[in-house]
């Protein structure tokens, strides 16, 4: 029996089911349902997202607005992987990023417990704005394609030029 003082033992990736073992409960092992780690390849950043119950609608598919959330998480982690910490950039330099425009094309619905991969590529780098292409896949199937334009702003939301080390870092990432 699992009590508030006890937690299920996790020894390997699990399938989420609890099984009785030697008088205690433990999670069943065997399949690879834990989320893998993000990685970069060929100028793109790949970020894994597991679909949870809270992400789905009554039909059991991912609610359309959640694709925007998944893309935002991937962009944030992509920047972090390059050494750009958005909270520090805002605190120390007074510069932040905001979404100025987003287009989404929904292709195939993702479902509960799917492992999605969000691919992020920088396509254009302007003086104040940058454009990114993001593709969200469930296996080999494309669930959504996004084009997102990000603007660089100060604390008052006035446009700020992308200059210096920030621009150099982003320029190295151009597709």
Work out the mean pLDDT of the chain and round it to a whole number.
Answer: 84
Three-state SS at 79: helix
Confidence of residue 161 (pLDDT cuts 50, 70, 90): very high
Looking at 15, 57, 163, 175, which residue is catalytic?
A: 57
- Rama region for 43: left / alpha / beta (φ>0; ψ in -120 to 50; rest): left
What's the CA gap between 144 and 134, in Å, rounded? 8
Is the pLDDT at 76 greater than 90, yes or no? yes
Dihedral over Cα of 132, 114, 13, 31: its sign: negative
Q: H/E element holding 29?
A: strand 24-29
Confidence of residue 36 (pLDDT cuts 50, 70, 90): confident
| Per-residue model confidence (pLDDT) at position 175 | 59
Look at 5-9, 53-57, 77-81, 145-149 and tell me which has the smallest mean pLDDT.
Answer: 5-9
Tell me what the mean pLDDT of segment 154-166 comes to. 95
Is the pLDDT at 111 greater than 60, yes or no? yes
Tell me what the mean pLDDT of segment 15-22 comes to. 40
Name the phi and psi angles at 82, rounded to 5: -95, 0
What's the CA gap between 101 and 97, in Å, rounded? 12
87 included as an active-site residue: no
């Amino acid at each position: 029996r699992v009590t508030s003082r006890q937690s299920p033992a996790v020894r390997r990736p699990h399938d989420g089911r609890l099984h009785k073992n030697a008088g205690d409960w433990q999670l069943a092992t065997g399949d690879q349902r834990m989320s893998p780690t993000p990685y970069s390849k060929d100028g793109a950043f790949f970020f894994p997202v597991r679909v949870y119950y809270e992400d789905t609608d009554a039909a059991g598919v991912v609610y359309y607005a959640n694709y925007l959330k998944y893309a935002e998480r991937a962009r944030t982690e992509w920047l972090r992987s390059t050494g750009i910490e958005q909270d520090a950039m805002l605190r120390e330099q007074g510069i932040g990023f905001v979404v100025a425009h987003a287009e989404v094309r929904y292709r195939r619905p993702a479902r509960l417990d799917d492992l999605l991969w969000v691919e992020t590529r920088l396509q254009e780098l302007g003086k104040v704005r940058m454009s990114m292409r993001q593709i969200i896949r469930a296996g080999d199937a494309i669930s959504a394609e996004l084009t997102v334009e990000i603007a660089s702003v100060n604390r008052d939301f006035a446009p700020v030029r992308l200059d210096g080390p920030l621009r150099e870092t982003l320029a190295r990432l151009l597709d």
